Structure 1
Amino acid sequence: MTDSTESFSQRLVKAGTPIFEEILKHPFVQGIANGDLPKEALTFYVGQDFNYLNAFIKVYAGAIQKCVNRKQMAFFSQQIGFVLNSEIHPHHNFCDVAGVEYESLQHEAQAPFTYLYNEHMYNAARTGDLIDVVAAMTPCPWTYIEIGNELVREGKNGEDNVFKPWIDFYANFDGEGDSVLPKMFELLDTEAPKYREEHLKRTEEIFLKSCELEWEFWDQAWNQRGWRFVKPSNVL
């Protein structure tokens, strides 16, 4: 049950914080903090995140279909533009450090956890209400913004860190992203009173699955974990 003094978004963040703490300790994230990551991990991450963000854009479009007013529609439309035009900058930072062309990583097939995460979001967009779609999507900006802010607090964005542009991008993401996280939290809190606790528990599970899949995404890139037996084709 939600505490009477606790908003639904606060409830979700509280539930997801133990997973976020594990994300922050992950070797890939610590590699960003320390300015040292293997080229193979960087390129695997970029190829998979390009795939993931393509799906994220489509789920934003799915959310628009569930909106009840133009203010909501405008928010999701703006975020589509942001992902297309601005969230390429962290990818470029990783590619520059790895010494590869960004375009060469834009045709990779979805690795297992990329596929699972994308399907999880697609399912929320297909079968859920607006609150469920937003819950599936929120862990991505939430965890990345928190990572960026934490690394800045730790002083990890010094000029000697090759990943300073990545850290600074996400530490400043909430301004650059048109306050995406507060608006997502606001949507969750606006929609939550419309539902019984039974539905809100399902929504919380959707959120937590996305949080866990965020951890799996980092781990997949760290270990360059692809399909063992299947050779999937690339699907945008």
Structure 2
Amino acid sequence: MSYGATFPLWRQASGEVWRDYTRHAFVTELGDGTLPREAFLGYLVQDYLFLVHFARAWALAVTKADTIDEMRLCAATVHALIDEEMRLHVVTCAEAGIDEDMLARAEEKTANIAYTRYVLDAGHAGDFLDLLAALAPCVLGYGEIGARLLAEGRAAGTLDTNPYAAWITTYGGDEYQQVCTAVGNLIDTAVARRLGDAPDTTPRWTTLTQRFATATRLEVGFWDMGLTG
């Protein structure tokens, strides 16, 4: 998946770390259904806490935006995170006896703290582009992973029997893919507005690709956390 013109450039600039993230063992085991249930539930608990901070980061993006269109899309993303994406975590965990109050009171693990605070710091210390570069690996990486796992599961005829089909169809489905397309377009227009038609020739470009790569490395750490429980 491309999700615009800027994202593929950032992804390419991140090098092997992008593959480490999107082809992580945690992702592979999600796709073939062999991931231990305890590991998945532990990940969901941490990801619920992650999404709380992620929603705050997108809310911060509203204040960093320059235009109403930018503000509108960032605000819509906050809504999607709180009212839609987090629902998957609440429902799945509830089936395992973990209610929403228990989710909210769970202890954040170090990898979670490192990632979420990095994204928030990028927004507080930097500008709108710094924040988007730090946010992009999660939003668009999950879209890429979900689309691939959904296509592979359908092609193999294994999706219906995969215990993680709900996760795969959430991130690979049309609704989330539309979010990714919208975010990719937001990044493109924001970059063009601030850096012009040749952003990769500007002094800011290296800093933005480094932010993207750092956030991607922190995504790898998040998957590592998921596997180790």
Q: Give me the TM-score of the superposition, normalised by structure 1.
A: 0.82
2:215 aligned with 1:210, yes or no? yes
Secondary structure of the corresponding residue to residue 159 of structure 1: helix
2:219 aligned with 1:222, yes or no? no
Residue 92 of structure 1 and its aligned partner are, at CA, apart by 4.5
Which residue number in structure 1 is paired with residue 41 of structure 2? 43
Question: Which stretch shows the higher mean deviation, 120-129 or 153-162?
Answer: 153-162
- Match among 175, 184, 191 for residue 188 of structure 1: 191
Q: Amino acid of the residue matched to residue 184 of structure 1? A: I
Which residue number in structure 2 is paired with residue 179 of structure 1? 182
Distance 1:106 1:178 in 2: 30
Residue 94 of structure 1 and its aligned partner are, at CA, apart by 4.5
Matches within 5 A, 1:1-236: 7-16=5-14, 18-92=16-90, 94-95=92-93, 99-103=96-100, 104-155=102-153, 158-172=159-173, 173-175=176-178, 179-193=182-196, 197-224=202-229
Is this contact kept in 2: 1:48–1:114, CA < 8 A?
A: yes
Distance 1:7 1:27 in 2: 28
Percent identical: 23
More helix by share: 2
CA distances 1:87-108 after superposition (whole Å, capped 9, x unpaired): 02432565367x2334232311
Secondary structure of the corresponding residue to residue 37 of structure 1: coil
Which runs of 5 or more residues in structure 1 are unaligned?
1-5, 225-236
Is this contact kept in 2: 1:7–1:189, CA < 8 A?
A: no
Across the aligned residues of Structure 1 and Structure 2, the Cα RMSD in angstroms comes to: 2.5
Is this contact kept in 2: 1:144–1:170, CA < 8 A?
A: yes
Is this contact kept in 2: 1:43–1:105, CA < 8 A?
A: no
Secondary structure of the corresponding residue to residue 100 of structure 1: coil
Q: Amino acid of the residue matched to residue 78 of structure 1? A: A
| Pair 1:198–1:102, CA change in 2 (3 A) | farther
Distance 2:227 2:189 in 1: 34
Distance 2:91 2:195 in 1: 38
Is this contact kept in 2: 1:66–1:129, CA < 8 A?
A: yes
Residue 17 of structure 1 and its aligned partner are, at CA, apart by 5.5
Residue 187 of structure 1 and its aligned partner are, at CA, apart by 2.7
Which runs of 5 or more residues in structure 2 are unaligned?
none
Residue 208 of structure 1 and its aligned partner are, at CA, apart by 0.5
CA distances 1:75-133 after superposition (whole Å, capped 9, x unpaired): 11111110001102432565367x23342323112211111111111111111011000
| Pair 1:76–1:192, CA change in 2 (3 A) | same
Q: Amino acid of the residue matched to residue 226 of structure 2? A: A
| Pair 1:150–1:121, CA change in 2 (3 A) | same
Residue 188 of structure 1 and its aligned partner are, at CA, apart by 3.4
Is this contact kept in 2: 1:28–1:37, CA < 8 A?
A: yes
Distance 1:155 1:106 in 2: 32
Q: Amino acid of the residue matched to residue 174 of structure 1? A: Q
Is this contact kept in 1: 2:115–2:218, CA < 8 A?
A: yes
Distance 1:198 1:176 in 2: 29
Secondary structure of the corresponding residue to residue 109 of structure 1: coil
How many residues align? The count is 218
